């Protein structure tokens, strides 16, 4: 059975969520809260030290969305949109938007927030960078708001991996205190996604 390396609320949540939506399982190895960069055992699995990682036989995959796509294809799940379906381009757009456009500034903000022992000058610089990221995030969210006007899901008229991809940063937006940046369509969509039983079960995995 494939093995998923997991830390609660990290991007491995996307994989667990997809598995719950599909009714599929993998073996879960939970690393606990963020000791992984100094864990030689995990660095032997993933030299980058990032999560998640999926090991399936002699295959290793380190990108959360690639892992989701791999498992969905393996289980013949309609969380994937096939290249022949009319909204395949939109599926690709929103699948990648979730990580590259939304999660990227949020991760950068979280990292900057973890810098300790700053001088007042450094703190001023950090605050300026954070304000810039916040503005950038608010602009990026406009695209999502436009897409969700009158739609329940991002592509193909059904729940897909694109929703799981975007759902992850929307979950983080709550933790980061950025909910006020969401427009009404995006706020309603976020609420519906996070209320899904599959998401709640994935979130509860220790
Ligand atoms: N694009 C990668 C990003 C992986 C990533 O950066 N994961 C975070 C956790 S969510 C991480 O391990 N960061 C390193 C750290 O926090 O030290 C993916 O989607 O899997």
The pLDDT of 46-52, averaged and rounded, is 92
CB of 103 closer than 6 angstroms to any ligand 1 atom: no
The pLDDT of 4-20, averaged and rounded, is 97
Confidence (pTM): 0.96
Asked if residue 36 has pLDDT above 80, the reply is no
**CATH 3.40.50.970 correct for 3-74:** no
**CATH 3.30.460.80 correct for 88-201:** no
State CA 135 to chain mean position distance: 20
Residues in the chain, overall count? 206
Q: Give the per-residue pLDDT at 174.
A: 87
Q: Give the per-residue pLDDT at 175.
A: 81
Output the six-digit token pair for 141.
């969210």
**10, 43, 67, 69: which to mutate for ligand 1, most atoms within 8 A of CB?**
10
Residues 138 and 179: beta-carbon distance below 8 Å: no
Q: Where exactly are the structural domains of the chain?
A: 3-74, 88-201
User: At 114, is the pLDDT very low, low, confident or very high (cuts 50, 70, 90)?
Assistant: confident
The model's pLDDT over 159-189, given as tens digits with 9 standing for 90+, comes to 999 999 999 999 999 887 899 999 999 999 9
Residues 29 and 3: beta-carbon distance below 8 Å: yes
> How many angstroms separate the alpha carbon of residue 10 from the centre of ligand 1?
7
Q: Which atom of ligand 1 is nearest to the CA of 37?
A: 17
């Amino acid at each position: 059975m494939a093995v998923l390396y997991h830390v609660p609320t990290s991007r491995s949540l996307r994989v667990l969520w997809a598995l719950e939506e599909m009714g599929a399982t993998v073996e879960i190895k939970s690393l606990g809260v963020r000791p992984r960069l100094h864990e030689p055992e995990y660095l032997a699995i993933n030299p980058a030290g990032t999560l998640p990682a999926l090991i399936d036989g002699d295959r290793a995959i380190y990108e959360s969305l690639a892992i989701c796509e791999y498992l969905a294809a393996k289980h013949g799940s309609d969380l994937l949109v096939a290249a022949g379906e009319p909204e395949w381009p939109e599926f690709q757009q929103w699948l990648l938007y979730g990580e590259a456009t939304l999660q990227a500034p949020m991760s950068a903000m979280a990292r900057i927030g973890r810098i300790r022992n700053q001088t007042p000058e450094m703190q001023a610089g950090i605050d300026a960078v954070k304000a810039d990221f916040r503005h950038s995030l608010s602009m990026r969210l406009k695209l999502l708001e436009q897409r969700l006007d009158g739609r329940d899901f991002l592509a193909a008229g059904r729940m897909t991996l694109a929703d799981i991809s975007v759902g992850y940063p929307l979950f983080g937006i709550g933790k980061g205190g950025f909910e006020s940046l969401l427009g009404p369509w995006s706020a309603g969509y976020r609420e519906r996604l996070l209320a899904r039983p599959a998401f709640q079960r994935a979130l509860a995995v220790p």
